[in-house]
Amino acid sequence: MSARRNLLVVLSLLVLLHVYIGVRLMPALGLGLTGMLAGTVFLLLSTVLVPVGLLSSSLRRRRWSEQLAWLGLLAMGLFSSLLVSTFVRELLLVVAAVAGIGSPALDYYSALAVPIVALGVTIVGFVNARRVARVKRVDVPIEGLPEPLHGYSIAQISDIHVGPTIKRPYLNAIVNRVNALEADAIAVTGDLVDGSVQRLALHTQPLARLSAPDGAFFVTGNHEYYSGAEEWIAELRRLGLTVLLNQHVVRRRGEAALMIAGVADYTAHHFNPAHRSDPQLAAAGAPSDLAVKILLAHQPRSAPAAAEAGFDLQLSGHTHGGQFFPWNLFVPLQQPFVAGLHRVRRLWVYTSRGTGYWGPPKRFGAPSEITLVRLVPA
């Protein structure tokens, strides 16, 4: 009953926001009867399609389900920019009125700018989202790093979200680019999928080609728990990835030893108490001669516990760097970092902007990335 009530609240809010956009823009544009009718039809279609986008990962397979998912998710992205642009216009008009420079011309041209800006941002965001993520190289200085580990590299991919609009060809191109880096190890830091193994196994198959001398590792993100985490863990192991659930492995270069550990998602215990994220447990039983301790943790907010457990570097994702404005402004309400390299006591934390995208195929101001992390002496 509560789920149905929540859905009704969301749908009611969507209707009101679409009405708000229409009321604030269409009269200001001076549209004739035909224009008003066209604008009303567009807003009605958007009101219907946005919920389809929200529910796209759970749509039943039908003849037109994939095309419908695309339409819904594109509508989500466009609606978001329309709404934000309308809010920005309101602020502009208020400032103009206070400054005594308001005019019918400003009212008209600002209203005209809203759909133009929203469409432009959506198109640019679509191109950014659908291209293969570029490689971002990050050097992490480690105090006392032994010479055999100078330049040790990890290729990190995160938040791909294979699902309604991200399929096998998209993932295949990512795997090709990762393998070309010839990193010592590969880390997949969660939110790989949005959907069940039954629905997406064909599309995650390229992961079997990930290749690195020290192995390819995976840790769960919150979206794995929405999609059947146990089944995905088994599937990823079948594909040859090492799944680290509060566990670690040790890799050596000559006399120098390095630990790669992984924890389940920060919220995993809400879905499976046995998967409670625990950096201390992940490091338990490690040899005493470790030169570097690396933790793979989907969410940056695992960092304080990782620092307490004595790790030198944490690789995370989850935030998407905000993906597109203005959502980057809200990330700090939940996470300590939006993107990039930061410090928590002696722990370095690198937060990837993600390699794919979630929801609307749209990235604006937060480019996707394949990260090549390299250890260097401090």
Listed residues 69, 101, 130: the one ending a domain: 130
Give 40's Cβ-side CA count (13 Å radius). 8
**In terms of domains, do 33 and 164 share one?**
no
**In terms of domains, do 139 and 285 share one?**
yes
**In terms of domains, do 60 and 157 share one?**
no
pLDDT in tens, 109-122: 999 999 999 999 99
**In terms of domains, do 44 and 31 share one?**
yes
- Token readout for 191 is 């939110």
**In terms of domains, do 267 and 299 share one?**
yes
pLDDT of residue 73: 95
Listed residues 81, 99, 130: the one ending a domain: 130
pLDDT of residue 1: 53
Long-range contacts of 102-109 (CB under 8 A, 24+ apart): 107/28, 108/28, 108/29, 108/30
**In terms of domains, do 229 and 362 share one?**
yes
pLDDT of residue 284: 96
Number of neighbouring beta carbons within 10 Å of residue 142: 22
CATH classification at residue 224: 3.60.21.10
Q: How far is the C-alpha of 117 from the C-alpha of 127, rounded, in Å?
A: 16
pLDDT of residue 227: 95
**In terms of domains, do 323 and 187 share one?**
yes
**In terms of domains, do 217 and 185 share one?**
yes
**In terms of domains, do 218 and 143 share one?**
yes
pLDDT of residue 55: 79
**In terms of domains, do 118 and 151 share one?**
no
Helix (H) or strand (E) holding 248: strand 247-253
pLDDT of residue 56: 75
Q: How far is the C-alpha of 54 from the C-alpha of 51, rounded, in Å?
A: 5
Q: How far is the C-alpha of 68 from the C-alpha of 89, rounded, in Å?
A: 31
pLDDT of residue 9: 87
Cis-peptide, bond into residue 213, ω within 30° of zero: no
For 296-325, letters b (16+ CB in 10 Å) and e give bbbbbbbbebbbebebbbbbbbbbbbbbbe
Listed residues 109, 130, 151: the one ending a domain: 130
pLDDT in tens, 42-66: 999 999 999 888 777 766 677 777 8
Give the domain extent around 158: 134-377
Phi and psi based region of residue 354 (left: phi greater than 0; alpha: psi -120 to 50; beta: remaining): left
Number of neighbouring beta carbons within 10 Å of residue 211: 14
Q: Is 341 exposed, middle or buried (0-12, 13-18, 19+ CB in 10 A)?
A: middle
Q: Is 327 exposed, middle or buried (0-12, 13-18, 19+ CB in 10 A)?
A: middle
309 closest CA partner among 298, 333, 323, 293: 293
Q: How far is the C-alpha of 245 from the C-alpha of 236, rounded, in Å?
A: 13
**In terms of domains, do 146 and 99 share one?**
no
Low-confidence ranges of the chain (pLDDT < 70): 1, 3, 58-60
What DSSP line would sit under 19-37, residue for residue?
HHHHHHHHHHHT--HHHHH
Q: How many domains does the chain have?
A: 2
**In terms of domains, do 227 and 106 share one?**
no
pLDDT of residue 164: 93
pLDDT of residue 133: 98
pLDDT of residue 3: 66
